[in-house]
Chains A and B, each alone.
Chain A
Amino acid sequence: MMYQIRDLHLSLPDMTRKPLLGPAPRINILNGLSFDVPQGAVLGIVGGSGSGKSTLGRAMLRLLEPTSGSITFDGIDITHQREAELRSMRRRFQMIFQDPMSSLNPRRRVGGIIAGPLKLHGFDNPRARVDEALDMVGLPRSFASRYPHELSGGQRQRVGIARAIALRPDFILADEIVSGLDVSSQAQVLNLLEELVRELGLTLAFISHDLSVIRRLCSRIVVLHQGKIVEEAETAALFDAPQAEYTRELMRAIPLPDPDQVWI
Protein backbone atom coordinates (compact mmCIF):
# COMPACT_ATOMS: atom_id res chain seq x y z
CA MET A 1 0.00 0.00 0.00
CA MET A 2 1.52 3.31 -1.07
CA TYR A 3 -0.60 5.63 1.04
CA GLN A 4 -2.88 4.85 3.96
CA ILE A 5 -4.87 7.79 5.21
CA ARG A 6 -6.88 7.37 8.39
CA ASP A 7 -9.35 9.82 9.91
CA LEU A 8 -7.43 12.82 8.61
CA HIS A 9 -8.36 16.18 10.13
CA LEU A 10 -6.78 19.47 9.18
CA SER A 11 -7.65 22.98 10.28
CA LEU A 12 -5.96 26.25 9.52
CA PRO A 13 -6.06 29.52 11.49
CA ASP A 14 -8.33 32.17 10.01
CA MET A 15 -6.13 35.24 10.15
CA THR A 16 -8.87 37.57 8.88
CA ARG A 17 -10.92 36.98 12.02
CA LYS A 18 -7.97 36.96 14.43
CA PRO A 19 -8.71 38.97 17.57
CA LEU A 20 -6.10 41.50 18.72
CA LEU A 21 -4.98 39.19 21.50
CA GLY A 22 -5.11 35.43 21.58
CA PRO A 23 -5.12 32.82 18.84
CA ALA A 24 -7.08 33.08 15.62
CA PRO A 25 -10.19 30.90 15.23
CA ARG A 26 -9.53 27.80 13.16
CA ILE A 27 -11.38 26.70 10.05
CA ASN A 28 -11.79 22.97 9.60
CA ILE A 29 -10.83 22.07 6.06
CA LEU A 30 -10.53 18.31 6.22
CA ASN A 31 -13.03 16.53 8.45
CA GLY A 32 -11.97 12.92 8.91
CA LEU A 33 -10.86 11.39 5.64
CA SER A 34 -9.88 7.74 5.29
CA PHE A 35 -8.78 6.08 2.07
CA ASP A 36 -5.96 4.00 0.59
CA VAL A 37 -3.83 4.46 -2.47
CA PRO A 38 -2.57 1.03 -3.56
CA GLN A 39 0.78 0.60 -5.31
CA GLY A 40 0.48 1.38 -9.03
CA ALA A 41 -3.02 2.85 -8.74
CA VAL A 42 -4.21 5.97 -10.48
CA LEU A 43 -6.53 7.64 -8.01
CA GLY A 44 -8.74 10.53 -8.95
CA ILE A 45 -9.62 13.06 -6.25
CA VAL A 46 -12.57 15.15 -7.37
CA GLY A 47 -14.59 17.89 -5.75
CA GLY A 48 -15.83 21.41 -6.24
CA SER A 49 -13.88 24.46 -5.26
CA GLY A 50 -13.48 24.70 -1.50
CA SER A 51 -13.98 20.97 -1.05
CA GLY A 52 -10.48 20.61 0.41
CA LYS A 53 -8.92 18.60 -2.40
CA SER A 54 -5.82 20.77 -2.78
CA THR A 55 -5.39 20.90 1.00
CA LEU A 56 -5.61 17.11 1.06
CA GLY A 57 -2.91 16.94 -1.62
CA ARG A 58 -0.64 19.30 0.27
CA ALA A 59 -1.18 17.32 3.47
CA MET A 60 -0.28 14.07 1.67
CA LEU A 61 3.03 15.64 0.61
CA ARG A 62 3.42 17.12 4.10
CA LEU A 63 3.52 20.70 2.89
CA LEU A 64 0.88 21.10 5.61
CA GLU A 65 0.78 19.30 8.94
CA PRO A 66 -2.47 17.50 9.76
CA THR A 67 -4.24 18.37 13.01
CA SER A 68 -5.05 14.75 13.76
CA GLY A 69 -5.37 11.36 12.10
CA SER A 70 -2.54 9.65 10.28
CA ILE A 71 -0.84 9.50 6.91
CA THR A 72 1.30 6.45 6.22
CA PHE A 73 3.52 6.43 3.17
CA ASP A 74 4.85 3.01 2.21
CA GLY A 75 4.62 1.82 5.80
CA ILE A 76 6.21 4.93 7.33
CA ASP A 77 4.07 7.26 9.43
CA ILE A 78 4.77 10.75 8.10
CA THR A 79 1.89 12.55 9.81
CA HIS A 80 3.94 14.61 12.24
CA GLN A 81 7.49 14.04 11.03
CA ARG A 82 9.71 17.09 11.16
CA GLU A 83 11.01 18.63 7.94
CA ALA A 84 14.59 17.49 8.58
CA GLU A 85 13.43 13.87 8.94
CA LEU A 86 11.24 14.09 5.85
CA ARG A 87 13.94 15.58 3.64
CA SER A 88 15.61 12.34 2.65
CA MET A 89 12.22 10.77 1.89
CA ARG A 90 10.98 13.65 -0.23
CA ARG A 91 12.50 12.25 -3.40
CA ARG A 92 9.93 9.45 -3.27
CA PHE A 93 6.79 11.58 -3.41
CA GLN A 94 6.67 14.41 -5.88
CA MET A 95 4.12 16.93 -7.01
CA ILE A 96 3.10 18.66 -10.22
CA PHE A 97 1.54 22.05 -9.56
CA GLN A 98 -1.54 23.67 -11.00
CA ASP A 99 0.04 26.86 -12.31
CA PRO A 100 3.47 26.32 -13.84
CA MET A 101 3.96 30.06 -14.17
CA SER A 102 4.03 30.16 -10.38
CA SER A 103 5.73 26.82 -9.70
CA LEU A 104 8.69 27.36 -12.03
CA ASN A 105 11.13 29.96 -10.73
CA PRO A 106 11.03 32.71 -13.40
CA ARG A 107 14.70 33.53 -12.95
CA ARG A 108 16.00 30.04 -13.56
CA ARG A 109 16.51 28.27 -16.84
CA VAL A 110 14.59 25.07 -17.48
CA GLY A 111 17.77 23.01 -17.13
CA GLY A 112 18.46 24.48 -13.71
CA ILE A 113 14.87 23.97 -12.59
CA ILE A 114 15.01 20.25 -13.38
CA ALA A 115 18.61 19.76 -12.17
CA GLY A 116 18.09 21.54 -8.80
CA PRO A 117 16.22 18.70 -7.03
CA LEU A 118 18.53 16.11 -8.67
CA LYS A 119 21.59 17.77 -7.16
CA LEU A 120 19.89 18.03 -3.76
CA HIS A 121 19.33 14.30 -3.68
CA GLY A 122 22.85 13.52 -4.84
CA PHE A 123 22.08 12.05 -8.25
CA ASP A 124 25.18 11.59 -10.34
CA ASN A 125 25.41 13.21 -13.76
CA PRO A 126 22.46 15.63 -13.46
CA ARG A 127 22.97 17.03 -16.98
CA ALA A 128 22.34 13.69 -18.63
CA ARG A 129 19.30 13.15 -16.41
CA VAL A 130 17.89 16.54 -17.37
CA ASP A 131 18.23 15.62 -21.06
CA GLU A 132 16.60 12.27 -20.39
CA ALA A 133 13.70 13.90 -18.52
CA LEU A 134 13.17 16.41 -21.34
CA ASP A 135 13.12 13.52 -23.84
CA MET A 136 10.53 11.69 -21.77
CA VAL A 137 8.14 14.65 -21.70
CA GLY A 138 8.67 15.31 -25.39
CA LEU A 139 10.53 18.62 -25.19
CA PRO A 140 13.67 19.33 -27.25
CA ARG A 141 16.90 19.19 -25.23
CA SER A 142 17.71 22.75 -26.29
CA PHE A 143 14.89 23.93 -24.00
CA ALA A 144 17.24 23.43 -21.04
CA SER A 145 18.64 26.89 -21.71
CA ARG A 146 15.25 28.60 -21.94
CA TYR A 147 13.48 30.60 -19.27
CA PRO A 148 9.94 29.52 -18.27
CA HIS A 149 8.32 32.67 -19.67
CA GLU A 150 9.69 31.80 -23.09
CA LEU A 151 7.55 28.64 -23.22
CA SER A 152 3.89 28.07 -23.98
CA GLY A 153 1.48 26.91 -21.26
CA GLY A 154 1.59 23.28 -22.34
CA GLN A 155 5.37 23.30 -22.58
CA ARG A 156 5.65 24.83 -19.13
CA GLN A 157 3.49 22.11 -17.66
CA ARG A 158 5.73 19.51 -19.34
CA VAL A 159 8.70 21.09 -17.57
CA GLY A 160 6.78 20.68 -14.30
CA ILE A 161 6.25 17.01 -15.12
CA ALA A 162 9.90 16.58 -16.13
CA ARG A 163 11.05 18.02 -12.81
CA ALA A 164 8.88 15.55 -10.91
CA ILE A 165 9.77 12.40 -12.88
CA ALA A 166 13.51 13.19 -13.09
CA LEU A 167 13.77 12.19 -9.41
CA ARG A 168 12.29 8.74 -10.21
CA PRO A 169 9.68 9.02 -7.47
CA ASP A 170 7.29 6.25 -6.40
CA PHE A 171 4.31 8.57 -6.13
CA ILE A 172 3.26 11.72 -7.95
CA LEU A 173 0.49 14.08 -6.98
CA ALA A 174 -0.92 16.09 -9.88
CA ASP A 175 -2.91 19.05 -8.59
CA GLU A 176 -5.30 20.39 -11.26
CA ILE A 177 -2.48 20.26 -13.76
CA VAL A 178 -4.58 20.72 -16.88
CA SER A 179 -7.09 23.29 -15.66
CA GLY A 180 -5.00 26.19 -16.95
CA LEU A 181 -4.51 24.72 -20.42
CA ASP A 182 -6.54 24.86 -23.61
CA VAL A 183 -8.32 21.69 -24.68
CA SER A 184 -5.73 20.42 -27.16
CA SER A 185 -2.81 20.88 -24.75
CA GLN A 186 -4.97 19.28 -22.05
CA ALA A 187 -5.30 16.15 -24.13
CA GLN A 188 -1.57 16.08 -24.90
CA VAL A 189 -0.56 16.51 -21.27
CA LEU A 190 -3.02 13.84 -20.15
CA ASN A 191 -1.74 11.40 -22.81
CA LEU A 192 1.82 12.08 -21.70
CA LEU A 193 0.96 11.52 -18.06
CA GLU A 194 -0.84 8.27 -18.86
CA GLU A 195 2.19 7.03 -20.80
CA LEU A 196 4.64 7.97 -18.07
CA VAL A 197 2.58 6.28 -15.37
CA ARG A 198 2.63 3.10 -17.41
CA GLU A 199 6.32 3.27 -18.36
CA LEU A 200 7.71 4.22 -14.97
CA GLY A 201 5.25 2.20 -12.90
CA LEU A 202 4.20 5.29 -10.97
CA THR A 203 1.44 5.62 -8.44
CA LEU A 204 -0.56 8.72 -9.23
CA ALA A 205 -3.11 10.82 -7.42
CA PHE A 206 -4.85 13.19 -9.77
CA ILE A 207 -6.76 16.12 -8.31
CA SER A 208 -9.36 17.80 -10.49
CA HIS A 209 -12.75 19.45 -10.40
CA ASP A 210 -13.56 17.97 -13.78
CA LEU A 211 -15.00 14.44 -13.80
CA SER A 212 -14.49 14.00 -17.53
CA VAL A 213 -10.73 14.46 -17.15
CA ILE A 214 -10.67 12.07 -14.17
CA ARG A 215 -12.68 9.45 -16.04
CA ARG A 216 -10.08 9.26 -18.80
CA LEU A 217 -7.14 8.73 -16.52
CA CYS A 218 -8.13 7.17 -13.22
CA SER A 219 -9.00 3.67 -12.13
CA ARG A 220 -10.52 4.71 -8.83
CA ILE A 221 -12.23 7.90 -7.73
CA VAL A 222 -12.68 9.65 -4.40
CA VAL A 223 -15.35 12.36 -4.34
CA LEU A 224 -14.76 15.12 -1.82
CA HIS A 225 -17.32 17.57 -0.50
CA GLN A 226 -16.80 20.00 2.37
CA GLY A 227 -13.75 18.12 3.62
CA LYS A 228 -15.47 14.72 3.71
CA ILE A 229 -15.47 11.77 1.36
CA VAL A 230 -18.99 11.44 0.00
CA GLU A 231 -18.24 8.59 -2.35
CA GLU A 232 -15.39 6.26 -3.22
CA ALA A 233 -15.66 3.77 -6.07
CA GLU A 234 -14.08 2.24 -9.17
CA THR A 235 -14.38 4.61 -12.12
CA ALA A 236 -16.79 2.45 -14.10
CA ALA A 237 -19.01 1.81 -11.09
CA LEU A 238 -19.11 5.47 -10.18
CA PHE A 239 -20.16 6.56 -13.65
CA ASP A 240 -22.73 3.76 -14.00
CA ALA A 241 -24.42 4.26 -10.67
CA PRO A 242 -23.37 7.28 -8.68
CA GLN A 243 -24.49 6.86 -5.08
CA ALA A 244 -24.16 10.31 -3.58
CA GLU A 245 -26.31 13.24 -4.65
CA TYR A 246 -23.18 15.44 -4.84
CA THR A 247 -21.56 13.03 -7.34
CA ARG A 248 -24.67 13.20 -9.54
CA GLU A 249 -24.46 16.98 -9.38
CA LEU A 250 -20.83 16.92 -10.52
CA MET A 251 -21.74 14.53 -13.34
CA ARG A 252 -24.49 16.81 -14.55
CA ALA A 253 -21.86 19.54 -14.78
CA ILE A 254 -19.88 17.64 -17.45
CA PRO A 255 -20.49 19.44 -20.74
CA LEU A 256 -21.76 17.02 -23.41
CA PRO A 257 -21.01 17.59 -27.07
CA ASP A 258 -24.18 19.14 -28.48
CA PRO A 259 -26.90 16.94 -26.93
CA ASP A 260 -29.70 18.34 -29.11
CA GLN A 261 -28.50 17.11 -32.50
CA VAL A 262 -31.62 15.96 -34.40
CA TRP A 263 -30.07 13.28 -36.58
CA ILE A 264 -28.68 11.18 -33.67
Chain B
Amino acid sequence: MRDARSELTRPIGVRLWLSGGWLMLLACAAIFAPWIAPQDPLAQDLFLGRMPPFWENGSEAGFWLGTDSLGRDVLSRILYGARLAMIVALVAGTLTCLIGASLGLIAGFYRGWPDRIISRFVDIWMAFPPVLFAILLIAVLGTGLTSIIIAIVIIDWTRFARVIRAEALSQSAMDYVASAQVAGRARFGTMLTEILPNVLPTIVALLTLEMGIAVIVEAILSFVNLSISTDSPTWGGMIAEGRISVHQAWWVLVFPLITLFLTVLSFSQLGEGLKDRFDPVLR
Protein backbone atom coordinates (compact mmCIF):
# COMPACT_ATOMS: atom_id res chain seq x y z
CA MET B 1 0.00 0.00 0.00
CA ARG B 2 1.34 3.40 -0.92
CA ASP B 3 0.46 6.69 0.66
CA ALA B 4 1.30 9.93 -1.06
CA ARG B 5 1.18 11.82 2.21
CA SER B 6 4.43 10.30 3.42
CA GLU B 7 6.20 11.42 0.25
CA LEU B 8 5.12 15.00 0.64
CA THR B 9 7.98 17.29 1.58
CA ARG B 10 7.15 20.74 2.81
CA PRO B 11 9.35 23.66 1.86
CA ILE B 12 10.63 25.70 4.78
CA GLY B 13 8.29 28.67 4.88
CA VAL B 14 9.31 32.28 4.29
CA ARG B 15 8.33 32.97 7.88
CA LEU B 16 10.79 30.42 9.22
CA TRP B 17 13.56 31.64 6.87
CA LEU B 18 13.20 35.30 7.76
CA SER B 19 12.82 34.91 11.51
CA GLY B 20 15.48 32.20 11.74
CA GLY B 21 17.82 34.26 9.57
CA TRP B 22 17.47 37.37 11.69
CA LEU B 23 18.04 35.45 14.90
CA MET B 24 21.09 33.69 13.44
CA LEU B 25 22.47 37.07 12.42
CA LEU B 26 21.87 38.38 15.92
CA ALA B 27 23.46 35.31 17.51
CA CYS B 28 26.56 35.83 15.33
CA ALA B 29 26.61 39.50 16.28
CA ALA B 30 26.43 38.55 19.96
CA ILE B 31 29.19 35.94 19.74
CA PHE B 32 31.58 37.88 17.47
CA ALA B 33 30.85 41.39 18.76
CA PRO B 34 34.46 42.16 19.80
CA TRP B 35 35.74 41.29 16.30
CA ILE B 36 33.06 42.81 14.10
CA ALA B 37 32.19 45.96 16.03
CA PRO B 38 33.80 48.90 14.21
CA GLN B 39 34.37 50.91 17.41
CA ASP B 40 34.73 50.40 21.13
CA PRO B 41 31.11 50.61 22.37
CA LEU B 42 32.19 52.47 25.51
CA ALA B 43 34.69 54.92 23.97
CA GLN B 44 33.42 58.44 24.43
CA ASP B 45 34.52 61.37 22.29
CA LEU B 46 32.66 64.60 22.87
CA PHE B 47 33.99 66.04 19.58
CA LEU B 48 32.14 63.25 17.72
CA GLY B 49 28.81 63.68 19.58
CA ARG B 50 25.53 63.23 17.69
CA MET B 51 27.04 62.29 14.34
CA PRO B 52 24.29 61.24 11.89
CA PRO B 53 24.26 57.84 10.08
CA PHE B 54 26.44 57.42 7.00
CA TRP B 55 23.98 58.55 4.31
CA GLU B 56 23.38 61.96 5.85
CA ASN B 57 25.48 65.07 5.54
CA GLY B 58 28.09 65.56 8.23
CA SER B 59 28.52 61.85 9.00
CA GLU B 60 31.89 60.57 10.13
CA ALA B 61 33.60 57.59 8.45
CA GLY B 62 33.61 54.45 10.59
CA PHE B 63 30.44 55.40 12.50
CA TRP B 64 27.87 53.71 10.24
CA LEU B 65 24.76 54.36 12.27
CA GLY B 66 25.94 57.59 13.85
CA THR B 67 26.91 58.36 17.44
CA ASP B 68 25.01 59.32 20.57
CA SER B 69 25.41 62.53 22.57
CA LEU B 70 28.57 61.19 24.25
CA GLY B 71 30.10 60.24 20.90
CA ARG B 72 29.70 56.47 21.30
CA ASP B 73 29.14 54.41 18.14
CA VAL B 74 25.47 53.30 17.84
CA LEU B 75 26.17 50.24 15.68
CA SER B 76 28.83 48.92 18.05
CA ARG B 77 26.53 49.43 21.01
CA ILE B 78 23.71 47.56 19.28
CA LEU B 79 26.07 44.66 18.52
CA TYR B 80 27.27 44.48 22.10
CA GLY B 81 23.70 44.93 23.35
CA ALA B 82 22.76 41.78 21.40
CA ARG B 83 24.98 39.82 23.78
CA LEU B 84 22.93 40.70 26.81
CA ALA B 85 19.64 40.34 24.93
CA MET B 86 20.58 36.88 23.71
CA ILE B 87 21.79 35.67 27.09
CA VAL B 88 18.61 36.89 28.76
CA ALA B 89 16.41 35.41 26.02
CA LEU B 90 18.04 31.99 26.15
CA VAL B 91 18.64 31.55 29.86
CA ALA B 92 15.53 33.26 31.21
CA GLY B 93 13.32 31.77 28.46
CA THR B 94 14.55 28.24 29.05
CA LEU B 95 14.36 28.43 32.84
CA THR B 96 10.87 29.90 32.75
CA CYS B 97 9.80 27.19 30.35
CA LEU B 98 11.26 24.36 32.43
CA ILE B 99 9.68 25.50 35.68
CA GLY B 100 6.32 26.63 34.27
CA ALA B 101 5.83 23.70 31.93
CA SER B 102 6.72 21.09 34.57
CA LEU B 103 4.28 22.56 37.07
CA GLY B 104 1.58 22.89 34.40
CA LEU B 105 2.10 19.32 33.25
CA ILE B 106 1.88 17.95 36.79
CA ALA B 107 -1.23 20.02 37.57
CA GLY B 108 -3.02 19.02 34.36
CA PHE B 109 -2.11 15.35 34.46
CA TYR B 110 -2.39 14.47 38.16
CA ARG B 111 -5.33 16.78 38.93
CA GLY B 112 -6.45 16.53 42.58
CA TRP B 113 -4.42 18.33 45.22
CA PRO B 114 -1.30 19.07 43.12
CA ASP B 115 -3.58 20.86 40.67
CA ARG B 116 -5.37 22.76 43.43
CA ILE B 117 -2.12 24.01 44.95
CA ILE B 118 -0.47 24.96 41.65
CA SER B 119 -3.59 26.60 40.20
CA ARG B 120 -4.13 28.67 43.36
CA PHE B 121 -0.53 29.86 43.18
CA VAL B 122 -0.95 30.81 39.53
CA ASP B 123 -4.11 32.78 40.32
CA ILE B 124 -2.44 34.69 43.13
CA TRP B 125 0.68 35.28 41.04
CA MET B 126 -1.26 36.68 38.13
CA ALA B 127 -2.96 39.24 40.32
CA PHE B 128 0.36 41.13 40.64
CA PRO B 129 1.00 43.75 37.93
CA PRO B 130 4.02 42.23 36.16
CA VAL B 131 6.11 45.34 35.47
CA LEU B 132 5.72 46.69 39.01
CA PHE B 133 6.47 43.23 40.33
CA ALA B 134 9.66 43.11 38.23
CA ILE B 135 10.81 46.54 39.43
CA LEU B 136 10.08 45.56 43.01
CA LEU B 137 12.03 42.31 42.62
CA ILE B 138 15.04 44.08 41.11
CA ALA B 139 14.91 46.62 43.93
CA VAL B 140 15.11 43.76 46.41
CA LEU B 141 17.59 41.56 44.52
CA GLY B 142 19.82 44.39 43.33
CA THR B 143 20.68 45.08 39.70
CA GLY B 144 22.68 42.68 37.57
CA LEU B 145 22.25 39.98 34.96
CA THR B 146 21.28 37.23 37.43
CA SER B 147 18.65 39.43 39.05
CA ILE B 148 17.07 40.17 35.67
CA ILE B 149 16.90 36.49 34.84
CA ILE B 150 15.49 35.60 38.26
CA ALA B 151 12.89 38.35 37.97
CA ILE B 152 11.74 37.16 34.53
CA VAL B 153 11.49 33.55 35.70
CA ILE B 154 9.58 34.45 38.85
CA ILE B 155 7.09 36.60 36.96
CA ASP B 156 6.52 34.59 33.82
CA TRP B 157 6.38 30.92 34.86
CA THR B 158 2.61 31.31 35.25
CA ARG B 159 2.20 31.83 31.51
CA PHE B 160 3.56 28.34 30.86
CA ALA B 161 1.85 26.74 33.82
CA ARG B 162 -1.59 27.91 32.71
CA VAL B 163 -1.36 26.97 29.06
CA ILE B 164 0.38 23.65 29.59
CA ARG B 165 -2.02 22.70 32.37
CA ALA B 166 -5.01 23.24 30.07
CA GLU B 167 -3.31 21.30 27.30
CA ALA B 168 -2.33 18.41 29.59
CA LEU B 169 -5.87 18.35 30.99
CA SER B 170 -7.42 17.84 27.56
CA GLN B 171 -4.78 15.31 26.54
CA SER B 172 -5.34 13.29 29.73
CA ALA B 173 -8.93 12.68 28.69
CA MET B 174 -7.79 10.89 25.53
CA ASP B 175 -8.02 7.11 25.38
CA TYR B 176 -4.31 6.67 24.73
CA VAL B 177 -3.78 7.55 28.39
CA ALA B 178 -6.24 4.84 29.46
CA SER B 179 -4.53 2.56 26.97
CA ALA B 180 -1.15 3.19 28.62
CA GLN B 181 -2.75 2.19 31.93
CA VAL B 182 -4.11 -0.99 30.35
CA ALA B 183 -0.58 -1.72 29.14
CA GLY B 184 0.63 -1.32 32.74
CA ARG B 185 2.62 1.89 32.35
CA ALA B 186 3.17 3.80 35.59
CA ARG B 187 1.53 7.21 35.99
CA PHE B 188 4.75 9.20 35.90
CA GLY B 189 5.96 7.28 32.87
CA THR B 190 2.66 7.94 31.10
CA MET B 191 3.07 11.65 31.74
CA LEU B 192 6.56 11.69 30.22
CA THR B 193 6.12 9.30 27.31
CA GLU B 194 2.50 9.89 26.28
CA ILE B 195 1.43 13.38 27.37
CA LEU B 196 4.71 15.31 27.03
CA PRO B 197 5.22 14.57 23.30
CA ASN B 198 1.70 15.84 22.70
CA VAL B 199 2.17 19.13 24.50
CA LEU B 200 5.71 19.65 23.20
CA PRO B 201 4.71 21.70 20.11
CA THR B 202 2.84 24.10 22.39
CA ILE B 203 5.80 24.27 24.75
CA VAL B 204 8.14 25.12 21.86
CA ALA B 205 5.81 27.83 20.55
CA LEU B 206 5.49 29.31 24.04
CA LEU B 207 9.23 29.06 24.64
CA THR B 208 10.12 31.21 21.64
CA LEU B 209 7.36 33.63 22.56
CA GLU B 210 8.79 33.80 26.06
CA MET B 211 12.27 34.52 24.69
CA GLY B 212 10.82 37.52 22.90
CA ILE B 213 9.09 38.64 26.08
CA ALA B 214 12.33 38.21 28.05
CA VAL B 215 14.05 40.57 25.61
CA ILE B 216 11.26 43.11 26.11
CA VAL B 217 11.35 42.82 29.90
CA GLU B 218 15.11 43.31 29.87
CA ALA B 219 14.64 46.39 27.66
CA ILE B 220 11.96 47.76 29.99
CA LEU B 221 14.20 47.28 33.01
CA SER B 222 17.11 48.94 31.21
CA PHE B 223 14.80 51.75 30.19
CA VAL B 224 14.03 52.51 33.82
CA ASN B 225 17.71 52.03 34.57
CA LEU B 226 17.23 48.89 36.66
CA SER B 227 19.09 46.47 34.44
CA ILE B 228 22.86 46.26 34.41
CA SER B 229 25.30 49.04 35.20
CA THR B 230 25.44 51.72 32.53
CA ASP B 231 28.88 50.68 31.25
CA SER B 232 27.52 47.66 29.39
CA PRO B 233 25.40 48.68 26.43
CA THR B 234 21.82 47.43 26.39
CA TRP B 235 19.08 48.11 23.86
CA GLY B 236 16.70 49.36 26.52
CA GLY B 237 19.34 51.67 27.91
CA MET B 238 20.04 53.04 24.42
CA ILE B 239 16.34 53.66 23.85
CA ALA B 240 16.14 55.52 27.15
CA GLU B 241 19.13 57.67 26.24
CA GLY B 242 17.87 58.22 22.71
CA ARG B 243 14.52 59.39 24.00
CA ILE B 244 16.12 62.45 25.61
CA SER B 245 17.79 63.63 22.40
CA VAL B 246 15.17 62.42 19.91
CA HIS B 247 14.77 65.88 18.35
CA GLN B 248 18.47 66.36 17.76
CA ALA B 249 19.57 62.78 17.01
CA TRP B 250 16.68 60.45 16.09
CA TRP B 251 19.07 57.63 15.12
CA VAL B 252 20.07 56.97 18.70
CA LEU B 253 16.48 56.01 19.47
CA VAL B 254 15.33 54.48 16.18
CA PHE B 255 18.04 51.88 15.45
CA PRO B 256 17.91 50.02 18.76
CA LEU B 257 14.13 50.23 18.61
CA ILE B 258 14.04 48.58 15.16
CA THR B 259 16.47 45.90 16.32
CA LEU B 260 14.36 45.17 19.38
CA PHE B 261 11.16 45.07 17.34
CA LEU B 262 12.58 42.70 14.71
CA THR B 263 14.01 40.42 17.38
CA VAL B 264 10.79 40.04 19.32
CA LEU B 265 8.82 39.57 16.10
CA SER B 266 11.29 36.93 14.89
CA PHE B 267 11.04 34.97 18.14
CA SER B 268 7.26 34.74 17.97
CA GLN B 269 7.24 33.91 14.27
CA LEU B 270 9.93 31.27 14.75
CA GLY B 271 7.73 29.57 17.33
CA GLU B 272 4.71 29.49 15.02
CA GLY B 273 6.83 28.27 12.12
CA LEU B 274 8.43 25.49 14.16
CA LYS B 275 5.07 24.38 15.49
CA ASP B 276 3.69 23.99 11.97
CA ARG B 277 6.74 22.18 10.77
CA PHE B 278 7.46 19.68 13.51
CA ASP B 279 3.93 18.62 14.33
CA PRO B 280 3.27 15.29 12.57
CA VAL B 281 -0.46 15.82 12.96
CA LEU B 282 -0.57 19.24 11.32
CA ARG B 283 1.93 18.19 8.69
Interface residues of A (CB under 8 A from B): 58, 61, 63, 83, 86-88, 90-91, 93-95, 97-99, 102-108, 116-117, 120-121, 140, 142-143, 146-147, 149-150, 163, 167
Contact = CB atoms under 8 A, between A and B. Distances in A.
Interface of B: 1, 3, 5-6, 174-176, 178-187, 193-194, 197-198, 200, 280-281
Contacts of A102: 174-176
A97 B180 CA distance: 12
B238 to A, nearest CB: 44
Nearest to B282: A149
B6 A63 contact: no
B6 A90 contact: no
A120 B175 contact: no
Contacts of A146: 3, 6
A90 to B, nearest CB: 4
Contacts of B5: 150
Nearest to B5: A150
Given A95-B182, A149-B280, 14 more contacts: A83-B181, A83-B186, A90-B184, A103-B178, A103-B179, A104-B179, A106-B198, A107-B200, A117-B185, A120-B184, A121-B184, A143-B1, A147-B280, A167-B183
Nearest to B195: A105
B183 A116 contact: yes
Contacts of B182: 61, 63, 90, 93-95
Nearest to A61: B182
A80 B194 CA distance: 26
Given A104-B176, A146-B6, A147-B280, A91 B184 contact: yes
A98 B179 CA distance: 11
Contacts of A94: 182
Contact of B281 (A117, A120, A149): A149
B3 A150 contact: yes
Contacts of B183: 90, 116-117, 120-121, 163, 167
Contacts of A86: 184
10 contacts: A63-B178, A63-B181, A63-B182, A86-B184, A105-B194, A106-B280, A107-B197, A120-B184, A121-B183, A150-B3
A104 B281 CA distance: 12
Contact of A97 (B6, B179, B198): B179
A83 to B, nearest CB: 8
A94 to B, nearest CB: 6
Which 4 A-B residue pairs are closest in the complex by CB-CB distance?
A117-B183, A103-B175, A90-B184, A102-B175
Greatest chain B CB density within 10 A among A102, A103, A107, A120 is at A107
B184 A87 contact: yes
A95 B182 CA distance: 7
B98 to A, nearest CB: 20
A146 B185 CA distance: 23
B184 A105 contact: no
Contacts of B197: 105, 107-108
Contacts of A142: 1
Contacts of B174: 102-103
A142 B5 CA distance: 14
Nearest to A173: B182
A104 B197 CA distance: 13
B9 to A, nearest CB: 15
Given A106-B281, A107-B281, A146-B6, A87 B186 contact: yes
Contacts of B6: 146, 150
